[in-house]
Amino acid sequence: MAGPARRARVVLFPLPFQGHISPMLQLAGALHARGLAVTVLHTFFNAPDPKRHLGFSFVAVPDAIPNAVAATNNGIAKILALNAAMETSGLVRDALASLLKSGEEEEEPRLACLVIDSTLTATQKAATSLGLPTLVLHTGSAACFRLFRSYDMLHDKGYLPETESNLHLPVKELPPLKVRDLFDPSKLPNKEIGQKILNLATETTTNSSGAILNTFEALEARELEMIQDELADRIPAFAVGPLHKLTSVDGAQTSLLNQDRSCIEWLDTQAPGSVLYVSFGSVVHVTQDEFMEVAWGLAYSGRPFLWVVRRGLVLGVEKPELPEGFESMVEGKGKVIEWAAQQEVLAHSAVGGFWTHNGWNSTLESICEGVPMLSSPLFGDQLATGRYVQDMWKIGILLEGVLERVKIEKAVRTLLDENEGMEIRDRARDLRNKVQMCLDSSGSSRQAVDKLSYPNRILLLD
Ligand code: UDX
């Protein structure tokens, strides 16, 4: 009689940026909780801290991003350089080969698959060369998954390249997007690398055994259905989000920077629903002029705010300085910190709105707490997400065009006080309740995780 199936191990390789490391570690936590052994492969650059994840094993793979690229602010160039370096060095293949070998020993969990960030083509090639199947984690929305696969169509139909005169046009094939919401690679200083980055996720998905998406049915039902149609039965898609609610791995464990917890004590002193939380995530930059407009817009709004001014937020400036007179003007009303305990901040009853760049993690975290958004998307997938927030889910206000203090001041007041803000707030609360349903034991996200794994095994690959 056959004995019980041997425990399986999954290896996960995140892209080494905050917005990608967090969901990968959250997924690792969800799989670990279901009995799977977990190994995280990672670069030295932005390495996660093994001491914060005692149940996982960690294996570092030297990244070898050329110093000149590592020193730039160009995230896209870093991803391409990382893939190129990993392909040349063969070090990922060596690490996987060694894990496969240990998994052959009877007392060790056998290695079932590699879960990769959708941009890491080199890691997939290494796995494939060893006969190891891959699953691909898409850390953005389902809408962006579809958008990034639609660039041939967008060029064929003349939406791209963007022009001054077509920015306002709706993209009929991808509602509710407008041309201005598309990430146009031809606008980058190096067009070729822009196009290359868009192709990575399509390549890894096509060559994978399954696509994992950090989103949920009640939010993106139509998009998810279309994705499954497009991928056909060959590549199943699993909507397992919001991952941060499906795991015990918390924000403090995944954060690359130390979170300043004094902001929670400060929020305790503020009236319920009164505070605007402001953060533009971990990678985007604003110009010095935009920074000034944000500061004065907040000050003139007269509303309490908690503003994350991380190091490097202002292009070319390590530690941005607040404008003269700002601190005295907002004394007692505004708090500025370098990095927040964001998930806790958004869950705090004093927070009434989130001014965000609409990175996908921030957007999901806001949705989960029913916090309405003021959207200032700046780059890439953020642009489409900002449009969805305002025009599809109707849980926020999109600040379009140049950042100007007067516009900001008005938008902050609308979001926090006026009638329009009230409707937006009600819808945000409704959506929060729908998230809860997806997370219940019979909810769609739980079921997706059940389809993906069951005690000790990755179902799909066993
Ligand atoms: C990047 C891209 O910018 C984004 O468009 C893409 O969707 C994911 O990768 P990032 O800019 O870091 O992400 O934004 P986001 O996805 O929102 O992730 C930021 C994470 O940092 C969130 O999980 C948030 O909780 C955390 N955070 C942010 C903190 O812990 N403290 C802070 O002060 C700010």
Find all residues with CB under 8 Å of 423, minimum gap 6, and list them.
394
Dihedral, 81, 83, 87, 93 alpha carbons, nearest 10: 140
**Percent residues over pLDDT 90 in the chain:** 82
Question: Tell me: the pLDDT tens digits for 138-181?
Answer: 999 999 999 999 999 999 999 999 999 999 999 999 999 999 99
> CB–CB of 216/224 below 8 Å?
no
Q: Binning pLDDT at 50, 70 and 90, where does residue 74 land?
A: confident
Q: Tokens 């989130």 identify what position?
A: 354
Distance, CA of 122 to CA of 125 (rounded, Å): 5
Q: How many CA atoms lie within 13 A of 346 on its CB side?
A: 24
CATH no. of 8-252+441-461: 3.40.50.2000
Mutation test residue for ligand 1: of 266, 267, 361, 379, the one with most atoms within 8 Å of CB: 361
pTM of the model: 0.96
Q: Provide the residue count of the chain.
A: 462
Selection from 354, 357, 367, 392 nearest residue 143 by Cα: 392
403 vs 319: CA distance, rounded Å: 21
Counting ligand 1 atoms within 8 A of each CB, the residue from 181, 266, 282 with the most, and so the one to mutate, is: 282
User: Candidates 3.30.70.20, 3.50.50.60, 3.90.198.10, 3.40.50.2000; correct CATH number of 257-436?
Assistant: 3.40.50.2000
Task: Give the domain ranges of the chain.
Answer: 8-252+441-461, 257-436
What DSSP state is assigned to residue 461? G
Distance (Å, whole) CA 158 – CA 60: 45
**What local confidence, expressed as pLDDT, does residue 460 receive?**
65
Q: What is the pLDDT of residues 12-26, one digit of tens each?
A: 999 999 999 999 999
In this structure, the residues whose C-beta lies within 6 A of any atom of ligand 1 are: 17-20, 22, 139-140, 251, 255, 259, 279, 281-284, 308, 339-340, 342-343, 359-362, 365, 380-382
Query: Where is mean pLDDT largest: 123-127, 189-193, 417-421?
Result: 123-127
First-to-last C-alpha distance (Å) of the chain: 18
Are 52 and 29 in contact by the 8 Å Cβ rule? The answer is no
* Nearest atom (ligand 1) to Cα of 280: 11
- Residue 334 forms beta bridges with which residues? 305
Q: Give the C-alpha separation, 382 to 280, whole Å.
A: 11
Considering only CA atoms, which of 159, 187, 163 is closest in space to residue 173?
Answer: 159
Q: If you search the block for the tokens 């200083």, which residue do you land on?
A: 189
The pLDDT confidence band at residue 1, using thresholds 50, 70 and 90, is very low
State which amino acid sits at residue 409.
Answer: E
